[in-house]
Amino acid sequence: STPTSLTGKRVVITAGPTREPIDPVRYISNHSSGKMGYALAGAARAAGAHVVLVSGPVSLPAPSGVEVRPVLTAEDMLKAASAAVDEGCDLFIATAAVADYRPDTCAGDKIKKSSEAMSLSLVRNPDTLATIAGRADAPFTVGFAAETTEVARYATDKMQRKKLNMIVANDVSAPGLGFNSENNAVTVFWPGGQESIGPDSKASIARRLVAMIGDQLGKMAD
Ligand code: PMT
C-alpha cells in the first residue's frame, strides 16, 4: 500500500446540519448540505478505509461502500458518533455543522401566532468533536472550523482547546465556497505545519485531505 493510504483503518465522519425542534413542525438548522463530509467519506473509502458516516438530514446518496447512520439533532449526533467510535476507530473527522444551541423544550403542539414578539429560550448543545477528542482512547481527530473573520487564529485556538490532531479552516465568508456549494477552499493546520488547498471541487479537496491525514497517521505510527 502507498504511504498515504488508509488501508484497513476504521474511520468515523460526521456530516451535514443538525435540526433542533421548536415544535412538531418547526426547527432551527443551517445551510450545510453535507457535500464536504460525503466527499471525504467517499475519498476515505477509496483510500481503503472502513467508513461510518454519521449524517444529519441531507439529500445526498450514500457514497458506495460507506455505512450511513442518519441523525437529526446534535444530541443524536453525539450518541451515534460515540457508539461508532466505541466499535473501533482510528480516525475521526467532524465536518458536520452542528447547532451550538437548541430550544430548551420542544412544544408538544404547534405554537400559535399571538403576540407581536416572541422569544425562544436556547440551551447549549453537547460538542461531539470535543467529546471524542477528549476520550482516553481518542482516535486521530480532525476538526473543521467555519469562520468568517480571523480564520487562522480562531482555527488554531480551536485545535488546541479541543485537543485536535488537525483542523481544517473553512473561510465561509467567500462567495461560492463553503456551505451548500460545489467548491471549497481551506487551510489545514497541524502542530508544526499548515497547507492551503483550493479553491477546488469538494471531491478534489477531500482527496488531498485524505492524503495529508494518511501522511500524518503514518508518521505517528513510525
Ligand atoms: O456541508 P457543506 O454544504 O458541504 O459545507 C461544508 C461545511 C462548510 C459545513 C464544512 O466544510 C465545515 O466547515 N464544517 C464545520 C462547520 C462548523 O459548524 O464549524 P464550527 O466552527 O461551528 O465547529 C467546529 C468543529 O466542532 C467542527 O468540526 C464541528 O463539526 C464540531 N462541532 C461543533 C459543535 C458541536 N456541538 N459539535 C461538534 O462536533
To the question of whether residue 144 is assigned a binding role by annotation, the answer is yes
**What are 93-149's pLDDT values in tens digits?**
999 999 999 999 999 999 999 889 999 999 999 999 999 999 999 999 999 998 888
pLDDT of residue 218: 86
Q: Is 113 annotated as a binding residue?
A: no
Question: How does residue 152 score in pLDDT terms, banded at 50, 70 and 90?
Answer: confident
Atom of ligand 1 nearest to the CA of 186: 11
Per-residue model confidence (pLDDT) at position 44: 98
Q: Which residue has the higher pLDDT, 29 or 162?
A: 29
Pairing between strand 166-171 and 183-190? antiparallel
- Asked if pLDDT for residue 46 goes beyond 70, the answer is yes
Q: Which atom of ligand 1 is nearest to the CA of 172?
A: 8
147 CA distance to ligand 1 centroid (A)?
10
Question: What confidence score (pLDDT) does residue 1 get?
Answer: 44
For the chain, the structural domain boundaries read 10-102+122-221
Question: How much distance in Å is there from the Cα of 97 to the middle of ligand 1?
Answer: 4
* Residue 82 grid cell: 460515540
Cα–Cα distance, 44 to 91 (Å, whole number): 10
Quick one: pLDDT at residue 8?
94
ipTM of the complex: 0.99
- The verdict on whether 30 is a catalytic residue reads yes
CATH placement of domain 10-102+122-221: 3.40.50.10300
Tens of pLDDT, residues 159-200:
999 999 999 998 888 888 888 899 999 999 998 899 999 999
- Asked if residue 35 belongs to a known ligand binding site, the reply is no
Q: Which of 14, 29, 31, 32 to mutate to test the pocket of ligand 1 (most atoms within 8 A of CB)?
A: 32
